Chains A and B, each alone.
Chain A
Protein backbone atom coordinates (compact mmCIF):
# COMPACT_ATOMS: atom_id res chain seq x y z
CA UNK A 1 0.00 0.00 0.00
CA UNK A 2 1.23 3.46 -0.94
CA UNK A 3 -0.39 6.30 0.93
CA UNK A 4 0.10 10.04 0.48
CA UNK A 5 -1.55 12.49 2.88
CA UNK A 6 -1.66 16.16 1.97
CA UNK A 7 1.69 15.99 0.23
CA UNK A 8 3.11 19.22 -1.17
CA UNK A 9 6.42 19.98 -2.75
CA UNK A 10 7.82 23.46 -3.29
CA UNK A 11 11.02 24.35 -5.06
CA UNK A 12 12.85 27.57 -4.66
CA UNK A 13 13.71 29.12 -8.02
CA UNK A 14 15.40 32.47 -7.50
CA UNK A 15 13.07 34.56 -5.38
CA UNK A 16 10.01 32.48 -6.28
CA UNK A 17 8.52 29.32 -4.83
CA UNK A 18 7.48 26.82 -7.50
CA UNK A 19 4.65 24.56 -6.40
CA UNK A 20 5.43 21.25 -8.02
CA UNK A 21 2.82 19.37 -5.96
CA UNK A 22 0.02 20.75 -3.90
CA UNK A 23 -1.80 18.93 -1.19
CA UNK A 24 -1.98 15.54 -2.87
CA UNK A 25 -3.70 12.72 -1.03
CA UNK A 26 -4.14 9.27 -2.49
CA UNK A 27 -3.84 5.59 -1.76
CA UNK A 28 -2.56 2.92 -4.11
CA UNK A 29 -3.34 -0.57 -2.87
CA UNK A 30 -0.71 -3.29 -3.16
CA UNK A 31 -0.66 -5.29 -6.39
CA UNK A 32 -1.97 -2.54 -8.65
CA UNK A 33 -0.61 -1.25 -11.94
CA UNK A 34 -1.11 2.50 -11.95
CA UNK A 35 -0.13 5.20 -14.41
CA UNK A 36 0.41 8.83 -13.43
CA UNK A 37 -0.54 10.88 -16.44
CA UNK A 38 -0.65 14.54 -17.21
CA UNK A 39 1.00 17.15 -19.39
CA UNK A 40 4.70 18.01 -19.15
CA UNK A 41 5.48 19.88 -15.95
CA UNK A 42 2.29 18.70 -14.32
CA UNK A 43 4.15 17.19 -11.36
CA UNK A 44 3.79 13.50 -12.15
CA UNK A 45 7.52 12.81 -11.94
CA UNK A 46 7.72 14.77 -8.70
CA UNK A 47 4.86 12.69 -7.34
CA UNK A 48 6.61 9.50 -8.50
CA UNK A 49 9.87 10.59 -6.84
CA UNK A 50 8.00 11.28 -3.60
CA UNK A 51 6.31 7.92 -3.35
CA UNK A 52 9.52 6.16 -4.40
CA UNK A 53 11.52 7.80 -1.61
CA UNK A 54 13.79 9.69 -4.02
CA UNK A 55 12.64 13.09 -2.83
CA UNK A 56 11.11 14.45 0.33
CA UNK A 57 7.86 16.38 0.55
CA UNK A 58 7.86 19.96 1.75
CA UNK A 59 4.70 19.08 3.62
CA UNK A 60 2.49 16.05 4.23
CA UNK A 61 3.02 12.39 5.00
CA UNK A 62 4.06 9.50 2.77
CA UNK A 63 3.71 5.92 3.85
CA UNK A 64 4.91 3.01 1.71
CA UNK A 65 4.70 -0.67 2.62
CA UNK A 66 3.96 0.30 6.19
CA UNK A 67 6.94 2.65 6.57
CA UNK A 68 6.60 6.39 7.02
CA UNK A 69 9.16 7.76 4.58
CA UNK A 70 9.22 11.18 6.26
CA UNK A 71 10.79 9.62 9.34
CA UNK A 72 13.64 7.92 7.51
CA UNK A 73 17.15 9.31 7.29
CA UNK A 74 18.90 9.46 3.95
CA UNK A 75 20.68 6.15 4.60
CA UNK A 76 17.48 4.53 5.80
CA UNK A 77 15.71 5.73 2.67
CA UNK A 78 18.49 4.23 0.53
CA UNK A 79 18.12 0.92 2.38
CA UNK A 80 14.36 1.11 2.02
CA UNK A 81 14.63 1.66 -1.71
CA UNK A 82 17.11 -1.19 -2.04
CA UNK A 83 14.77 -3.57 -0.25
CA UNK A 84 11.31 -2.48 -1.43
CA UNK A 85 11.63 -0.62 -4.71
CA UNK A 86 12.64 -1.33 -8.25
CA UNK A 87 13.28 1.48 -10.72
CA UNK A 88 12.89 1.79 -14.48
CA UNK A 89 13.91 5.03 -16.20
CA UNK A 90 13.32 6.47 -19.62
CA UNK A 91 16.90 6.18 -20.82
CA UNK A 92 17.58 2.67 -19.40
CA UNK A 93 20.78 3.88 -17.71
CA UNK A 94 22.65 0.64 -17.86
CA UNK A 95 26.33 0.84 -17.01
CA UNK A 96 28.05 0.52 -20.37
CA UNK A 97 31.10 -1.40 -19.14
CA UNK A 98 29.02 -4.15 -17.54
CA UNK A 99 27.24 -6.97 -19.33
CA UNK A 100 23.47 -7.34 -19.12
CA UNK A 101 23.82 -9.88 -16.31
CA UNK A 102 26.28 -7.70 -14.39
CA UNK A 103 23.93 -4.73 -14.71
CA UNK A 104 21.07 -6.78 -13.36
CA UNK A 105 23.31 -8.03 -10.56
CA UNK A 106 24.13 -4.49 -9.36
CA UNK A 107 21.35 -4.12 -6.75
CA UNK A 108 22.34 -7.52 -5.34
CA UNK A 109 25.81 -6.17 -4.51
CA UNK A 110 24.07 -4.38 -1.67
CA UNK A 111 22.92 -7.70 -0.19
CA UNK A 112 24.89 -10.41 1.61
CA UNK A 113 24.28 -12.92 -1.16
CA UNK A 114 27.20 -14.99 -2.41
CA UNK A 115 28.46 -14.40 -5.92
CA UNK A 116 26.94 -17.63 -7.29
CA UNK A 117 23.55 -16.78 -5.79
CA UNK A 118 23.72 -13.25 -7.18
CA UNK A 119 24.51 -14.58 -10.59
CA UNK A 120 21.72 -17.10 -10.49
CA UNK A 121 19.17 -14.49 -9.45
CA UNK A 122 20.32 -12.12 -12.17
CA UNK A 123 19.89 -14.88 -14.74
CA UNK A 124 16.43 -15.67 -13.41
CA UNK A 125 15.43 -12.00 -13.73
CA UNK A 126 16.76 -11.92 -17.28
CA UNK A 127 14.78 -15.06 -18.08
CA UNK A 128 11.61 -13.40 -16.79
CA UNK A 129 12.11 -10.47 -19.18
CA UNK A 130 12.95 -12.84 -22.04
CA UNK A 131 16.65 -12.08 -22.31
CA UNK A 132 18.22 -15.25 -20.95
CA UNK A 133 20.23 -15.63 -24.13
CA UNK A 134 21.62 -12.08 -24.00
CA UNK A 135 23.06 -12.21 -20.49
CA UNK A 136 26.65 -11.71 -21.54
CA UNK A 137 25.92 -8.99 -24.08
CA UNK A 138 27.11 -5.48 -23.35
CA UNK A 139 24.47 -2.69 -23.38
CA UNK A 140 25.83 -1.32 -26.67
CA UNK A 141 25.10 -4.69 -28.26
CA UNK A 142 21.43 -4.57 -27.26
CA UNK A 143 18.53 -2.73 -28.89
CA UNK A 144 16.68 0.00 -26.99
CA UNK A 145 13.83 -2.38 -26.16
CA UNK A 146 16.26 -5.01 -24.93
CA UNK A 147 18.10 -2.46 -22.82
CA UNK A 148 14.85 -1.41 -21.20
CA UNK A 149 14.02 -5.04 -20.48
CA UNK A 150 17.44 -5.42 -18.85
CA UNK A 151 16.58 -2.35 -16.77
CA UNK A 152 13.30 -4.02 -15.77
CA UNK A 153 15.21 -7.18 -14.83
CA UNK A 154 17.48 -4.98 -12.69
CA UNK A 155 14.38 -3.47 -11.08
CA UNK A 156 12.90 -6.84 -10.10
CA UNK A 157 16.04 -8.79 -9.24
CA UNK A 158 15.75 -8.01 -5.54
CA UNK A 159 12.08 -9.06 -5.62
CA UNK A 160 10.75 -5.66 -4.47
CA UNK A 161 7.07 -5.11 -3.67
CA UNK A 162 6.94 -1.97 -5.78
CA UNK A 163 8.30 -1.16 -9.24
CA UNK A 164 8.28 2.48 -10.31
CA UNK A 165 8.96 3.69 -13.82
CA UNK A 166 9.52 7.22 -15.07
CA UNK A 167 8.52 7.35 -18.71
CA UNK A 168 9.59 3.73 -19.25
CA UNK A 169 8.41 3.80 -22.86
CA UNK A 170 9.57 7.34 -23.59
CA UNK A 171 12.58 6.31 -25.62
CA UNK A 172 11.13 3.28 -27.35
CA UNK A 173 9.40 2.64 -30.64
CA UNK A 174 5.79 1.46 -30.65
CA UNK A 175 6.55 -2.24 -30.75
CA UNK A 176 9.06 -2.11 -27.93
CA UNK A 177 6.83 0.21 -25.90
CA UNK A 178 4.01 -2.35 -26.12
CA UNK A 179 6.41 -5.10 -25.05
CA UNK A 180 7.65 -3.14 -22.05
CA UNK A 181 4.12 -2.23 -20.96
CA UNK A 182 3.13 -5.88 -21.35
CA UNK A 183 6.09 -6.90 -19.25
CA UNK A 184 5.17 -4.45 -16.51
CA UNK A 185 1.64 -5.82 -16.55
CA UNK A 186 3.08 -9.32 -16.22
CA UNK A 187 4.98 -8.21 -13.14
CA UNK A 188 1.71 -7.13 -11.61
CA UNK A 189 -0.33 -10.13 -12.72
CA UNK A 190 2.08 -12.99 -12.23
CA UNK A 191 4.36 -11.70 -9.50
CA UNK A 192 1.93 -9.52 -7.56
CA UNK A 193 4.05 -6.38 -7.82
CA UNK A 194 2.69 -2.92 -7.34
CA UNK A 195 3.70 -1.02 -10.46
CA UNK A 196 3.53 2.78 -10.69
CA UNK A 197 4.64 4.60 -13.80
CA UNK A 198 4.69 8.24 -14.82
CA UNK A 199 4.01 8.46 -18.54
CA UNK A 200 2.79 10.49 -21.47
CA UNK A 201 2.21 7.36 -23.48
CA UNK A 202 -1.52 6.90 -24.17
CA UNK A 203 -0.87 3.20 -24.90
CA UNK A 204 -0.27 2.74 -21.18
CA UNK A 205 -4.00 3.11 -20.53
CA UNK A 206 -4.60 -0.26 -22.16
CA UNK A 207 -2.30 -2.01 -19.71
CA UNK A 208 -2.88 -0.33 -16.36
CA UNK A 209 -5.58 -0.81 -13.76
CA UNK A 210 -5.92 2.88 -13.14
CA UNK A 211 -4.83 6.20 -14.52
CA UNK A 212 -4.15 8.95 -11.99
CA UNK A 213 -4.42 12.38 -13.53
CA UNK A 214 -2.11 15.12 -12.38
CA UNK A 215 -2.10 18.68 -13.60
CA UNK A 216 -0.30 21.76 -12.31
CA UNK A 217 0.78 19.85 -9.23
CA UNK A 218 -2.71 18.84 -8.31
CA UNK A 219 -4.24 15.37 -8.26
CA UNK A 220 -7.19 15.71 -10.62
CA UNK A 221 -8.77 12.30 -10.09
CA UNK A 222 -8.55 8.89 -11.65
CA UNK A 223 -10.09 6.79 -14.34
CA UNK A 224 -9.95 3.04 -14.76
CA UNK A 225 -7.55 1.52 -17.22
CA UNK A 226 -8.38 -1.23 -19.66
CA UNK A 227 -8.01 -3.94 -17.05
CA UNK A 228 -11.06 -2.59 -15.29
CA UNK A 229 -9.82 -2.97 -11.73
CA UNK A 230 -11.48 -1.09 -8.88
CA UNK A 231 -10.47 2.57 -8.69
CA UNK A 232 -7.68 4.01 -6.65
CA UNK A 233 -8.97 6.09 -3.79
CA UNK A 234 -7.88 9.67 -3.57
CA UNK A 235 -8.93 13.21 -2.99
CA UNK A 236 -9.29 14.99 -6.27
CA UNK A 237 -9.93 18.65 -6.85
Chain B
Protein backbone atom coordinates (compact mmCIF):
# COMPACT_ATOMS: atom_id res chain seq x y z
CA UNK B 1 0.00 0.00 0.00
CA UNK B 2 1.36 3.39 -0.98
CA UNK B 3 1.34 5.63 2.06
CA UNK B 4 0.32 9.20 1.41
CA UNK B 5 1.22 12.15 3.59
CA UNK B 6 0.11 15.75 3.51
CA UNK B 7 3.03 16.93 5.60
CA UNK B 8 5.38 13.99 6.02
CA UNK B 9 7.89 15.83 8.16
CA UNK B 10 5.35 16.72 10.83
CA UNK B 11 3.31 13.52 10.55
CA UNK B 12 6.38 11.32 11.11
CA UNK B 13 8.27 13.64 13.47
CA UNK B 14 9.97 12.18 16.51
CA UNK B 15 8.32 12.43 19.91
CA UNK B 16 10.90 15.04 20.91
CA UNK B 17 10.15 17.11 17.84
CA UNK B 18 6.39 16.92 18.43
CA UNK B 19 6.84 18.03 22.02
CA UNK B 20 9.10 20.87 20.93
CA UNK B 21 6.38 22.10 18.55
CA UNK B 22 3.79 21.69 21.29
CA UNK B 23 5.72 23.79 23.80
CA UNK B 24 6.47 26.52 21.30
CA UNK B 25 2.82 26.70 20.22
CA UNK B 26 1.52 26.45 23.76
CA UNK B 27 3.40 29.61 24.68
CA UNK B 28 1.74 31.44 21.79
CA UNK B 29 -1.66 30.18 22.89
CA UNK B 30 -0.97 31.27 26.48
CA UNK B 31 -0.06 34.70 25.16
CA UNK B 32 -3.40 34.86 23.33
CA UNK B 33 -5.30 33.43 26.30
CA UNK B 34 -4.00 36.17 28.57
CA UNK B 35 -5.85 38.63 26.33
CA UNK B 36 -9.24 37.02 27.02
CA UNK B 37 -11.47 38.10 29.91
CA UNK B 38 -11.81 34.45 30.98
CA UNK B 39 -8.16 33.29 31.04
CA UNK B 40 -6.73 36.67 32.09
CA UNK B 41 -8.27 35.92 35.49
CA UNK B 42 -7.70 32.21 35.54
CA UNK B 43 -4.05 31.94 34.42
CA UNK B 44 -2.43 34.48 36.81
CA UNK B 45 -4.25 32.70 39.64
CA UNK B 46 -2.08 29.63 38.95
CA UNK B 47 1.13 31.61 38.50
CA UNK B 48 1.03 32.08 34.73
CA UNK B 49 1.30 35.81 34.11
CA UNK B 50 3.34 35.71 30.90
CA UNK B 51 3.97 33.03 28.28
CA UNK B 52 7.47 32.59 29.74
CA UNK B 53 5.94 31.25 32.92
CA UNK B 54 5.29 28.08 30.92
CA UNK B 55 8.69 26.42 30.91
CA UNK B 56 7.75 22.87 30.04
CA UNK B 57 4.71 20.95 28.87
CA UNK B 58 4.25 19.80 32.45
CA UNK B 59 3.32 23.37 33.36
CA UNK B 60 0.10 22.84 31.41
CA UNK B 61 -1.11 20.67 34.30
CA UNK B 62 -1.21 23.70 36.58
CA UNK B 63 -4.05 25.12 34.53
CA UNK B 64 -7.53 24.13 35.67
CA UNK B 65 -9.79 22.36 33.21
CA UNK B 66 -12.07 24.46 31.01
CA UNK B 67 -15.61 23.11 31.05
CA UNK B 68 -18.46 23.44 28.59
CA UNK B 69 -20.19 25.55 31.22
CA UNK B 70 -17.25 27.99 31.15
CA UNK B 71 -17.87 28.43 27.43
CA UNK B 72 -21.53 28.98 28.05
CA UNK B 73 -20.89 31.55 30.74
CA UNK B 74 -18.32 33.28 28.55
CA UNK B 75 -20.85 33.57 25.72
CA UNK B 76 -20.56 35.53 23.54
CA UNK B 77 -17.14 37.16 23.87
CA UNK B 78 -15.50 36.09 27.12
CA UNK B 79 -13.01 33.81 25.36
CA UNK B 80 -12.30 36.06 22.41
CA UNK B 81 -8.62 37.12 22.28
CA UNK B 82 -8.72 39.43 19.28
CA UNK B 83 -10.79 42.25 17.90
CA UNK B 84 -13.72 40.98 15.83
CA UNK B 85 -12.20 42.70 12.78
CA UNK B 86 -9.57 39.96 12.90
CA UNK B 87 -12.18 37.18 13.02
CA UNK B 88 -13.23 35.61 9.73
CA UNK B 89 -15.59 32.88 10.92
CA UNK B 90 -17.67 31.84 13.88
CA UNK B 91 -19.40 28.56 14.60
CA UNK B 92 -21.82 27.86 17.39
CA UNK B 93 -22.98 24.65 18.96
CA UNK B 94 -25.95 24.08 21.18
CA UNK B 95 -25.35 24.67 24.86
CA UNK B 96 -26.70 22.53 27.63
CA UNK B 97 -29.44 24.91 28.68
CA UNK B 98 -30.36 26.92 25.65
CA UNK B 99 -27.34 29.22 25.65
CA UNK B 100 -25.07 28.22 22.78
CA UNK B 101 -21.30 28.07 22.78
CA UNK B 102 -19.30 29.90 20.13
CA UNK B 103 -15.89 29.55 18.53
CA UNK B 104 -14.03 32.27 16.66
CA UNK B 105 -11.44 31.75 13.94
CA UNK B 106 -9.00 34.28 12.54
CA UNK B 107 -7.87 33.89 8.92
CA UNK B 108 -4.72 32.17 10.19
CA UNK B 109 -6.70 29.88 12.51
CA UNK B 110 -8.99 28.84 9.68
CA UNK B 111 -5.96 28.19 7.50
CA UNK B 112 -4.45 25.92 10.15
CA UNK B 113 -7.72 24.06 10.78
CA UNK B 114 -8.23 23.57 7.04
CA UNK B 115 -4.71 22.23 6.72
CA UNK B 116 -5.43 19.58 9.36
CA UNK B 117 -8.58 18.47 7.55
CA UNK B 118 -6.53 18.17 4.36
CA UNK B 119 -3.97 16.12 6.30
CA UNK B 120 -6.74 13.86 7.61
CA UNK B 121 -8.25 13.30 4.17
CA UNK B 122 -4.85 12.51 2.69
CA UNK B 123 -4.10 10.04 5.48
CA UNK B 124 -7.01 7.90 4.25
CA UNK B 125 -5.43 7.73 0.81
CA UNK B 126 -7.93 10.07 -0.86
CA UNK B 127 -6.60 12.74 -3.19
CA UNK B 128 -7.53 15.31 -5.82
CA UNK B 129 -8.86 12.62 -8.14
CA UNK B 130 -11.62 11.99 -5.64
CA UNK B 131 -15.05 13.56 -5.59
CA UNK B 132 -16.34 14.24 -2.10
CA UNK B 133 -20.03 14.49 -1.31
CA UNK B 134 -20.28 16.28 2.00
CA UNK B 135 -23.47 15.14 3.69
CA UNK B 136 -23.03 16.94 7.00
CA UNK B 137 -25.17 19.97 7.65
CA UNK B 138 -23.67 23.28 6.64
CA UNK B 139 -24.18 26.46 8.62
CA UNK B 140 -23.39 26.75 12.29
CA UNK B 141 -22.28 23.12 12.54
CA UNK B 142 -18.55 22.72 11.89
CA UNK B 143 -18.91 19.30 10.22
CA UNK B 144 -20.16 20.82 6.97
CA UNK B 145 -18.05 23.89 6.24
CA UNK B 146 -14.79 22.79 7.86
CA UNK B 147 -14.69 19.48 5.97
CA UNK B 148 -15.61 21.39 2.81
CA UNK B 149 -12.62 23.71 3.16
CA UNK B 150 -10.23 20.85 3.85
CA UNK B 151 -11.43 18.85 0.86
CA UNK B 152 -11.03 21.85 -1.44
CA UNK B 153 -7.53 22.29 -0.07
CA UNK B 154 -6.75 18.72 -1.14
CA UNK B 155 -8.13 19.63 -4.55
CA UNK B 156 -11.09 17.28 -4.46
CA UNK B 157 -14.23 18.19 -6.32
CA UNK B 158 -16.63 18.92 -3.48
CA UNK B 159 -20.39 18.43 -3.68
CA UNK B 160 -21.84 20.49 -0.81
CA UNK B 161 -24.94 18.31 -0.57
CA UNK B 162 -25.48 18.95 3.17
CA UNK B 163 -27.74 16.63 5.13
CA UNK B 164 -31.13 15.19 4.30
CA UNK B 165 -33.11 14.66 1.09
CA UNK B 166 -32.00 11.08 0.55
CA UNK B 167 -33.29 10.77 -2.99
CA UNK B 168 -31.32 13.80 -4.13
CA UNK B 169 -28.22 12.56 -2.31
CA UNK B 170 -28.30 9.30 -4.24
CA UNK B 171 -28.97 11.11 -7.51
CA UNK B 172 -25.94 13.35 -6.90
CA UNK B 173 -23.78 10.31 -6.14
CA UNK B 174 -24.86 8.74 -9.40
CA UNK B 175 -24.70 11.81 -11.65
CA UNK B 176 -21.35 13.13 -10.42
CA UNK B 177 -19.65 9.78 -9.77
CA UNK B 178 -19.04 10.57 -6.11
CA UNK B 179 -16.13 8.53 -4.74
CA UNK B 180 -15.99 9.70 -1.11
CA UNK B 181 -18.76 10.47 1.36
CA UNK B 182 -18.63 12.46 4.58
CA UNK B 183 -21.61 11.21 6.50
CA UNK B 184 -22.93 9.91 9.81
CA UNK B 185 -22.92 6.09 9.94
CA UNK B 186 -26.62 5.89 10.74
CA UNK B 187 -27.55 7.99 7.72
CA UNK B 188 -25.31 5.92 5.47
CA UNK B 189 -27.10 2.78 6.67
CA UNK B 190 -30.42 4.46 6.07
CA UNK B 191 -29.50 5.41 2.50
CA UNK B 192 -28.68 1.80 1.71
CA UNK B 193 -32.15 0.69 2.73
CA UNK B 194 -33.62 3.26 0.31
CA UNK B 195 -31.64 2.30 -2.80
CA UNK B 196 -34.14 -0.29 -4.12
CA UNK B 197 -36.95 2.25 -3.76
CA UNK B 198 -35.02 4.72 -5.93
CA UNK B 199 -34.25 2.00 -8.47
CA UNK B 200 -30.52 2.55 -8.05
CA UNK B 201 -28.04 -0.27 -7.57
CA UNK B 202 -24.49 -0.08 -6.24
CA UNK B 203 -23.25 -0.65 -9.80
CA UNK B 204 -24.64 2.75 -10.73
CA UNK B 205 -22.39 4.36 -8.11
CA UNK B 206 -18.63 4.91 -7.93
CA UNK B 207 -18.22 4.99 -4.12
CA UNK B 208 -14.83 4.02 -2.73
CA UNK B 209 -14.61 5.57 0.71
CA UNK B 210 -16.66 7.10 3.48
CA UNK B 211 -15.53 9.34 6.30
CA UNK B 212 -17.90 8.48 9.10
CA UNK B 213 -18.25 10.56 12.21
CA UNK B 214 -20.35 12.90 14.34
CA UNK B 215 -21.83 9.99 16.26
CA UNK B 216 -20.36 7.03 18.12
CA UNK B 217 -20.56 3.73 16.31
CA UNK B 218 -19.25 0.22 16.80
CA UNK B 219 -16.69 -1.69 14.76
CA UNK B 220 -19.59 -3.89 13.64
CA UNK B 221 -21.36 -0.88 12.17
CA UNK B 222 -18.22 0.08 10.25
CA UNK B 223 -17.83 -3.49 8.91
CA UNK B 224 -21.48 -3.60 7.95
CA UNK B 225 -21.19 -0.34 6.00
CA UNK B 226 -18.03 -1.52 4.28
CA UNK B 227 -19.72 -4.75 3.21
CA UNK B 228 -23.01 -3.16 2.17
CA UNK B 229 -21.35 -0.59 -0.08
CA UNK B 230 -18.06 -2.36 -0.82
CA UNK B 231 -16.10 0.66 0.42
CA UNK B 232 -13.53 1.57 3.06
CA UNK B 233 -14.99 3.51 5.96
CA UNK B 234 -12.73 5.72 8.09
CA UNK B 235 -13.62 6.86 11.56
CA UNK B 236 -13.22 10.58 12.12
CA UNK B 237 -13.23 12.55 15.35
CA UNK B 238 -13.93 16.18 15.93
CA UNK B 239 -15.90 18.58 18.04
CA UNK B 240 -16.94 22.09 17.25
CA UNK B 241 -15.18 23.53 20.32
CA UNK B 242 -11.88 22.39 18.75
CA UNK B 243 -12.68 23.51 15.14
CA UNK B 244 -14.76 20.50 14.11
CA UNK B 245 -13.43 17.63 11.99
CA UNK B 246 -9.73 16.93 11.51
CA UNK B 247 -8.64 16.53 15.13
CA UNK B 248 -8.09 12.81 14.90
CA UNK B 249 -8.61 10.60 11.86
CA UNK B 250 -7.95 7.06 10.78
CA UNK B 251 -5.19 6.44 8.27
CA UNK B 252 -5.23 3.91 5.42
CA UNK B 253 -4.76 1.09 7.94
CA UNK B 254 -7.99 1.92 9.77
CA UNK B 255 -6.66 0.95 13.17
CA UNK B 256 -7.92 3.77 15.36
CA UNK B 257 -7.53 7.50 14.96
CA UNK B 258 -4.28 9.47 14.77
CA UNK B 259 -4.48 12.50 17.01
CA UNK B 260 -2.73 15.43 15.34
CA UNK B 261 -0.52 16.12 18.32
CA UNK B 262 1.34 19.06 16.79
CA UNK B 263 -2.01 20.89 16.81
CA UNK B 264 -3.71 19.50 19.90
CA UNK B 265 -2.38 18.38 23.26
CA UNK B 266 -4.44 15.39 24.26
CA UNK B 267 -4.73 14.20 27.83
CA UNK B 268 -6.85 11.32 29.05
CA UNK B 269 -8.12 11.77 32.58
CA UNK B 270 -10.18 9.95 35.13
CA UNK B 271 -13.42 11.95 34.88
CA UNK B 272 -14.12 11.53 38.59
CA UNK B 273 -10.74 12.60 39.99
CA UNK B 274 -9.32 14.68 37.14
CA UNK B 275 -6.05 12.68 37.39
CA UNK B 276 -4.24 11.63 34.23
CA UNK B 277 -4.56 7.95 33.36
CA UNK B 278 -1.93 5.77 31.67
CA UNK B 279 -1.90 5.26 27.91
CA UNK B 280 -4.18 2.35 27.10
CA UNK B 281 -6.57 3.14 29.94
CA UNK B 282 -9.99 4.51 29.19
CA UNK B 283 -10.83 7.99 30.40
CA UNK B 284 -12.12 11.37 29.34
CA UNK B 285 -10.46 13.18 26.45
CA UNK B 286 -9.11 16.62 27.45
CA UNK B 287 -7.84 18.85 24.67
CA UNK B 288 -5.73 21.96 24.35
CA UNK B 289 -6.01 23.65 21.00
CA UNK B 290 -2.56 24.81 19.81
CA UNK B 291 -3.58 26.30 16.48
CA UNK B 292 -6.30 28.78 17.34
CA UNK B 293 -5.33 32.20 18.62
CA UNK B 294 -8.62 34.09 18.15
CA UNK B 295 -10.24 31.90 20.77
CA UNK B 296 -7.82 29.90 22.87
CA UNK B 297 -9.08 26.85 24.72
CA UNK B 298 -6.88 25.17 27.31
CA UNK B 299 -7.48 21.73 28.80
CA UNK B 300 -11.04 21.54 27.55
CA UNK B 301 -13.01 18.63 28.93
CA UNK B 302 -14.74 17.03 25.95
CA UNK B 303 -16.73 14.52 28.02
CA UNK B 304 -15.88 11.93 25.36
CA UNK B 305 -14.51 8.64 26.70
CA UNK B 306 -11.66 6.89 24.87
CA UNK B 307 -8.11 5.57 25.35
CA UNK B 308 -4.78 6.26 23.64
CA UNK B 309 -2.40 3.89 21.82
CA UNK B 310 1.34 4.29 21.87
CA UNK B 311 2.49 1.41 19.66
CA UNK B 312 3.77 2.47 16.23
CA UNK B 313 1.38 2.39 13.28
CA UNK B 314 2.21 0.74 9.95
CA UNK B 315 1.79 4.12 8.28
CA UNK B 316 4.89 5.35 10.16
CA UNK B 317 3.02 8.31 11.62
CA UNK B 318 4.25 9.04 15.09
CA UNK B 319 1.15 10.78 16.39
CA UNK B 320 -0.57 8.69 19.00
CA UNK B 321 -3.80 6.98 18.13
CA UNK B 322 -7.08 7.17 19.96
CA UNK B 323 -9.68 4.42 20.19
CA UNK B 324 -13.15 5.03 18.85
CA UNK B 325 -15.33 7.07 21.23
CA UNK B 326 -16.63 4.61 23.79
CA UNK B 327 -19.16 6.78 25.56
CA UNK B 328 -19.72 10.04 27.40
CA UNK B 329 -18.93 11.12 30.92
CA UNK B 330 -22.01 13.34 30.94
CA UNK B 331 -25.61 12.76 29.88
CA UNK B 332 -25.31 14.17 26.37
CA UNK B 333 -27.23 12.19 23.76
CA UNK B 334 -26.14 11.95 20.15
CA UNK B 335 -29.20 11.64 17.96
CA UNK B 336 -28.53 11.16 14.25
CA UNK B 337 -25.26 13.04 14.73
CA UNK B 338 -26.82 15.93 16.61
CA UNK B 339 -25.72 16.57 20.19
CA UNK B 340 -28.61 16.94 22.59
CA UNK B 341 -28.54 17.52 26.33
CA UNK B 342 -31.57 16.39 28.34
CA UNK B 343 -31.40 19.76 30.12
CA UNK B 344 -32.18 21.52 26.84
CA UNK B 345 -35.35 19.47 26.50
CA UNK B 346 -36.27 20.09 30.13
CA UNK B 347 -35.82 23.82 29.71
CA UNK B 348 -38.36 23.86 26.86
CA UNK B 349 -40.88 21.67 28.68
CA UNK B 350 -40.78 23.95 31.72
CA UNK B 351 -41.82 26.87 29.53
CA UNK B 352 -44.99 25.16 28.28
CA UNK B 353 -47.91 25.85 30.65
CA UNK B 354 -50.10 23.07 29.30
CA UNK B 355 -47.81 20.33 30.60
CA UNK B 356 -46.49 19.40 34.03
CA UNK B 357 -42.89 19.14 35.17
CA UNK B 358 -42.58 15.37 34.82
CA UNK B 359 -41.17 14.19 31.55
CA UNK B 360 -39.33 11.30 29.98
CA UNK B 361 -36.99 11.22 27.01
CA UNK B 362 -36.94 8.06 24.94
CA UNK B 363 -34.34 7.38 22.25
CA UNK B 364 -34.78 4.37 20.01
CA UNK B 365 -33.82 3.01 16.63
CA UNK B 366 -36.34 3.21 13.83
CA UNK B 367 -34.70 1.33 10.99
CA UNK B 368 -31.17 2.72 10.72
CA UNK B 369 -32.02 6.11 12.16
CA UNK B 370 -32.47 7.34 15.69
CA UNK B 371 -35.86 8.49 16.90
CA UNK B 372 -36.42 10.87 19.79
CA UNK B 373 -39.67 10.74 21.71
CA UNK B 374 -40.47 13.20 24.47
CA UNK B 375 -43.20 12.14 26.88
CA UNK B 376 -44.91 14.82 28.91
CA UNK B 377 -47.94 14.97 31.19
CA UNK B 378 -50.94 17.08 30.34
CA UNK B 379 -51.69 19.58 33.09
CA UNK B 380 -55.39 18.87 33.92
CA UNK B 381 -56.43 22.50 34.32
CA UNK B 382 -55.15 23.35 30.88
CA UNK B 383 -57.24 20.71 29.13
CA UNK B 384 -59.96 22.42 27.10
CA UNK B 385 -61.74 19.24 26.09
CA UNK B 386 -60.79 19.07 22.44
CA UNK B 387 -58.44 16.79 20.52
CA UNK B 388 -57.47 19.77 18.34
CA UNK B 389 -56.09 21.57 21.37
CA UNK B 390 -54.00 18.56 22.35
CA UNK B 391 -52.60 18.39 18.84
CA UNK B 392 -51.74 22.10 19.06
CA UNK B 393 -49.93 21.59 22.36
CA UNK B 394 -47.99 18.73 20.82
CA UNK B 395 -46.92 20.77 17.80
CA UNK B 396 -46.02 23.71 20.00
CA UNK B 397 -43.67 21.59 22.12
CA UNK B 398 -42.27 19.90 19.06
CA UNK B 399 -41.62 23.23 17.29
CA UNK B 400 -40.00 24.80 20.33
CA UNK B 401 -37.76 21.77 20.77
CA UNK B 402 -36.82 21.97 17.12
CA UNK B 403 -35.78 25.58 17.64
CA UNK B 404 -33.65 24.60 20.62
CA UNK B 405 -32.07 21.27 19.66
CA UNK B 406 -32.53 21.42 15.85
CA UNK B 407 -34.28 18.06 15.66
CA UNK B 408 -38.01 17.56 15.82
CA UNK B 409 -39.02 14.91 18.32
CA UNK B 410 -42.30 13.01 18.52
CA UNK B 411 -44.33 14.25 21.50
CA UNK B 412 -46.45 11.92 23.58
CA UNK B 413 -48.95 13.40 25.99
CA UNK B 414 -49.74 11.37 29.05
CA UNK B 415 -52.11 11.69 31.97
CA UNK B 416 -50.84 13.34 35.10
CA UNK B 417 -49.01 11.02 37.47
CA UNK B 418 -48.20 8.34 34.92
CA UNK B 419 -44.55 9.21 34.19
CA UNK B 420 -41.80 8.43 36.73
CA UNK B 421 -41.65 11.13 39.38
CA UNK B 422 -38.40 12.97 40.03
CA UNK B 423 -37.24 11.37 43.26
CA UNK B 424 -33.58 12.25 43.42
CA UNK B 425 -32.53 10.83 40.11
CA UNK B 426 -35.61 9.84 38.16
CA UNK B 427 -35.09 7.82 35.02
CA UNK B 428 -35.60 10.74 32.70
CA UNK B 429 -33.75 9.27 29.76
CA UNK B 430 -34.40 5.83 28.32
CA UNK B 431 -32.01 4.96 25.50
CA UNK B 432 -32.85 1.62 23.93
CA UNK B 433 -30.24 1.86 21.18
CA UNK B 434 -27.52 -0.77 21.03
CA UNK B 435 -24.62 -0.02 23.36
CA UNK B 436 -21.10 0.18 21.93
> Do these two chains really belong together in a complex?
no
